Structure formats: C-alpha cells, structure tokens
Structure 1
Amino acid sequence: MQHQFRIVGLTTYDCFMIDLQGLRALVAVDRAGSVVAAAERLGYTPSAVSQQVKKLERDLDAVLLERHGRGVLLTDRGRALAGEGRGLLDGLERLEALAASGARPSSPLRIASFSTATRGLVAPLLRALGDDEAPVFATVTSVDPVDAMEMVASGVVDLAVVHNWNSVPLVAPAHVATEHVCHDEADIVLAAGHPLAGRSELDRADLVDESWASTPAGAICHEALMRIFADLGTVPRVVVEDPDFASLIELAREGVAIALVPRLGRTPLPDGAVARPLRDHSQVREVRVAYRRSMAETPGIRRAVRLLADQGAAIAHEAV
C-alpha cells in the first residue's frame, strides 16, 4: 500500500508531500547502519533503497544521507526525520491494524522462523491457519533467530519465532513484543558405540576432550555450544560445521564427532545414534514469538500467536 502525507505550513501555506516509502527506507538505513543492510531487511536492492531516499530528499529539498568512506551517514536532519518517522510508521501500522480488526486478512502473513521450529511449531501452525473457516495464507522464511528478530523489527516479516538460550540471550528492540511459546532442551547426540552412550545422563566435564559437530560460527546454537564449558575454562573442539541438524546427527552416528541437538523438531534418531541429556540440564532454550507492538491487535497476528501458544503447551505436556 502506497501512502503520502501532505504537510501544510500554518503561516505560508506552502505544502509538500512526504513519500512514506522513502521515509521507510530512511528509517531502515538508520536502524541497519547502511544502505546494503537496509536493502537486505526490506527485501529491495541497494539501488532501490538509495533511489527511495533520494526521492525523499528531492521532495523535502534537504540532504538526508551523506557519503562517509564507502558507506553513508545520516545528516542531522536525516536523523531527526528518521527518529520522528519511526513513530509515524508505527502509528500508521496500528491504524491499519485497527482498520483490519474483525476483517479477513487481505495479504499473506509473513513469518520468519528457525529451522527446528519450522518443523515442530510452524508446520502445525500453517495447517491450522489453512483449516479454519476463514483460511489464512502464510509465507515462511527459515533463518537464524538474530536475523528473524531483525526482520520483524524492520517490517520485512509480520511474525518471528525465535529462541533464547539461557547462556546467549536474544534482545528484542523496544518496539517489538515477545510472548512465551515453550521451552526446548538440547541433548548430546553420539554414536551408540561411544563409551559414554551407556549412561542415562552426561556430565559436562566428561565431554571436554570430545570432538564436536556444530552449526556454523555466528549461529546462536553454535554460541550456546561455545559456552557450554565456560566455567571449566575451555571451549569445545569443533571439527565440522553444518547448518543442518540432520547432518550433525549423521556425523555423530558415524562416530566422527558428538553434537548438541535440540529436541524441538528433531526427527527420530537413526539406528546407531543415541541422545543423552546433560546431568545439569543446563542447555535449555526458551522459544518465543515476536511481533511489532503496532501489529499487536491485528487479527492474523493474534490468531497465530494463540495457535503457537497452544502448540507450545502441547509440546510441554508431552515432555512431562
């Protein structure tokens, strides 16, 4: 939906139009720190974002971005406009949500999720959304929770399913609300013939000298693994990195390495692989759903949040 606001001077009666697409691009550059990062969050090319901001500059007859090395910086006026623009865009989103209250959603619900939640939580959510009397179409992108939080904060998606490890907290911006869905524990997956496989629970100290298969560096699950032995004065020795937990499980089954694998969305283990919890149950992550506060009353958001909460409650009941 395209929007423009007409601003009229109270004394001179001069008027000009503020293109909200340009304002949205400027706010994204301010939040992301660069045109390239803003383009990634908005789903545009860097050239398109630059053109949107340039049009806004022409409309206002003002310089909003200035070159600084290979990047750009907001001018004083650009920062002031972006600061006020965030509130304006949030207000507009709340207004559109209010107008849509009680009405069938006219556009797809855009969801970001991490891969195990896509299998364990979002798949049942999509089925429930489609089975209702007023089915809701949704699109899903599986990304790391840090990226998912950025996507919901910048408006690229409407809803994000994210997780917080107790050792690696994920911070939500002030304009993003989150709600609890469930807790998910991670186990150590190892070959059935491994010397530790016969134990019902594993002590962290017994795993210090093991080789590990892990998600790539920078992913939250990798950071959680890196901190698993923090109080023991060492870090895990990672010999293989792969973003797919199924690959990590296969590496463990082959005896190449052991892996820290969450239970949520985990398929049945293949023959030759076993999963054992840590004795201190320290590797637990909280799964939460995030959305912009300005979208809180949107029917599609409320319905999706409720369905996720119901699915999370069912998972918690199964774990008891």
Structure 2
Amino acid sequence: MIDLQGLRALVAVDRAGSVVAAADQLGYTPSAVSQQVKKLERDLDAVLLERRGRGVLLTERGRTLASEGRELLVGLERLEAVAASGARPTAPLRIASFSTATRGLLGPVLGELRDAGAAVLATVTSVDPVEAMAMVASGSADLAVVHNWNSVPLIAPSHVATEHVCHDEADVVLSVDHPLAGRDELERADLVDEAWASTPKGAICHEALMRIFADLDSIPRVVAEDPDFASLIELARQGVAIALVPRLGRSALPEGVVARPLADHSQVRDIRVAYRRSMAESAGIRRAVRLLLDAGRRVEASAIA
C-alpha cells in the first residue's frame, strides 16, 4: 500500500523544486520530508529522488509517481470535502492573507465564522500574495486572500479557483507641505522626479510602484523601503518621501499628511479569494468565501459613500 504522507512529500518536492522548499510549504522540517520520501522508497522498493550537487532531482519513476500521485491526492481531497459537506467542520480553516486585507476584510469574517450557529475555527497567516497563492496551491493553506494589481498580475495555478471580492484603489500619500498637496488628483507625469517610500523589493506592491511610470520611460526613485504602510505614511508626514498606499485596511491618516488619487485612477487592486478546486464542496470553504464576498461588497459600498 502506498503511504499517502510519503506521496504528499514527493509531490511537494516535485512542485516546489527542492526538499527545503517543500518542507516550508508543508510546515515540516527538511529532515522530516526526506524521511517521508525514503519510507515511500522502501515501501515501493524504488529510487524516487537522486542527489545532484547540493540538491535533489526526481528520477523518471519519481516524476511518474508524482504526476499520478498529484491527481490521486486531488481526488482524495475532493472526496473528503464532499463527504464532510453536510457535517460540522472540525479542523481549523487555514487562511493566508496580505496584511491590509487581514485588517480591512478578515476581522468581521473571522467573527462570523466563529458564531454560535456555525462555529468554524480559523487561523490566519499574513504573507505576500505570491506566497499566499503558493500556500493554497501546495495545500499548506485552505484559503487565500490575494490581490492583482492591474500592472502586476498574479497567476493562479490551474487547480486553484479564484473569485472577485472587491476593488481597492491606491492613493499617493504626501505631506501637507508638499507642493502637490493642494490638488484633488495627481498626474503621474508630475511625480516622475519625486522620492518614494515603498514596500521592499519582491513585494507585489513594490513591483506595482516600479511600473507606475513605465509608459513615461521612468522608474520611481525609492529612497526608503519598509513592509509596514504605517511607516511609509510617517515618512511622507516627515517630508522624506511620498508613498503609494492602498485604501483597504488603511488607518485614519495622521495630521500632516493627505492622500490624493491619481488622475487616471490606474492603481487599482483586484482583491480575490483563492482555494483549491478540489475543496469547492467544503462547507467551511463555502461559508468563508460567502462571508468574504459580503465583506467585499461592504468595502466597495463604503468607498462609494
């Protein structure tokens, strides 16, 4: 009989490209993942991984088993979701989200998930959307709240479904003493030579900023990087730089700064919820998605008001 834990480990190594990356996705140590694959090798009397330099590669038999095993695991997950669709969820729903969505969307959703009528335990991890999508794809998260900037698309793997939650526009935050602070809207061309505060390189919000002047043959001059938007706002208040800050989850701006939209309203994020298609019949997933869609409608209604 094939050991499912070992099969999951092998599929994760195949998908992630290394034992270390697979361990990170599965929430195990690299040693544990290696041991799980070795047990599978012993059970099957076959070599599935071969060492190459400091890494590993799947053998031909390992690749075949991983390919077939991936379909088997998806089928098992789908079967488990259907079997549990009418039952009271017991396992915690693992949610991956980006920080502003955790603040601006998930708070009320978590409260409703845990109400007396349909209690669903949930854990939330705040990570960048690229990592959140990878967590859902690999099975280390059940649900993810992610975003697509119109200039930086986030691609969902074929076995992951996504649904639109809401739109979120980003404003330019700048000191009240800035020469452009008195305008109702800002032209991108007027911001080409400005100093910017941004989230770190590699984050989707940073990439969105990098592309904001692409059609103007310019790259934003970033003088400060910080993962916390509150820090970027403070740098703007002090006149050190200006910052592109989304509205979702944004706290009330302190005195001394203003937020102004771009005149072309080009910096808009599409907020989406992602889950594996094999989990579409899960009662916990369906309820969480429904609550997120309701929360998204409230966010968009408040933006219009």
Residue number in structure 2 paired with 1:10 = none
Q: Is 1:165 aligned to 2:169, yes or no?
A: no
Q: For the residues of structure 2 that align with 1:301 and 1:309, how far apart are their CA atoms?
A: 12
Residue number in structure 1 paired with 2:227 = 243
Q: For the residues of structure 1 that align with 2:63 and 2:144, how far apart are their CA atoms?
A: 28
Letter of the structure 2 residue corresponding to residue 77 of structure 1: R
Residue number in structure 1 paired with 2:236 = 252
Residue number in structure 2 paired with 1:147 = 131
Listed as ranges, the gaps of 5+ residues in structure 2 are none
Q: Is 1:197 aligned to 2:195, yes or no?
A: no
Which of residues 62, 71, 75 is equivalent to 2:55?
71
Paired residue secondary structure (2:86): coil
Contact 2:3 2:40 in 1 (8 A): yes
Shift of residue 238, structure 1, vs aligned partner: 0.5
Q: For the residues of structure 1 that align with 2:112 and 2:274, how far apart are their CA atoms?
A: 19
Residue number in structure 1 paired with 2:300 = 316
Contact 2:279 2:285 in 1 (8 A): yes
Q: For the residues of structure 1 that align with 2:226 and 2:67, how far apart are their CA atoms?
A: 40
Q: Is 1:93 aligned to 2:77, yes or no?
A: yes
Shift of residue 98, structure 1, vs aligned partner: 1.1
Paired residue secondary structure (2:114): helix
1:38-89 C-alpha deviation (Å, 9 max, x unpaired): 0000001111101100000000000000011111110000000000011000
Which of residues 276, 293, 310 is equivalent to 2:260?
276
Shift of residue 310, structure 1, vs aligned partner: 0.5
Q: For the residues of structure 2 that align with 1:131 and 1:119, how far apart are their CA atoms?
A: 19
Shift of residue 180, structure 1, vs aligned partner: 0.5
Shift of residue 131, structure 1, vs aligned partner: 2.1
Paired residue secondary structure (1:104): coil
Q: Is 1:300 aligned to 2:284, yes or no?
A: yes
1:194-242 C-alpha deviation (Å, 9 max, x unpaired): 1000000000011011110000000000000000000011100001110
Q: Is 1:133 aligned to 2:143, yes or no?
A: no
Q: Is 1:28 aligned to 2:19, yes or no?
A: no
Please tell me the root mean square deviation across aligned C-alpha atoms, in Å. 0.6
The TM-score, its normalising length taken from structure 2, stands at 0.99
Residue number in structure 1 paired with 2:92 = 108
Moved segments of 4+, more than 2 Å: none
Contact 2:20 2:30 in 1 (8 A): yes
Q: For the residues of structure 2 that align with 1:219 and 1:18, how far apart are their CA atoms?
A: 39
Counterparts in 2 of 1:121 and 1:132: CA distance versus 1, 3 Å: farther
Shift of residue 165, structure 1, vs aligned partner: 0.4
Letter of the structure 2 residue corresponding to residue 25 of structure 1: A
Aligned pair count reads 304
Letter of the structure 1 residue corresponding to residue 244 of structure 2: L
Shift of residue 132, structure 1, vs aligned partner: 4.3
Residue number in structure 2 paired with 1:290 = 274
1:241-285 C-alpha deviation (Å, 9 max, x unpaired): 100001111111111100000000000000001100000000001
Shift of residue 316, structure 1, vs aligned partner: 1.0
Paired residue secondary structure (1:131): coil
Shift of residue 134, structure 1, vs aligned partner: 2.1
Paired residue secondary structure (2:15): helix
Residue number in structure 2 paired with 1:9 = none
Paired residue secondary structure (1:265): coil
Shift of residue 124, structure 1, vs aligned partner: 1.2
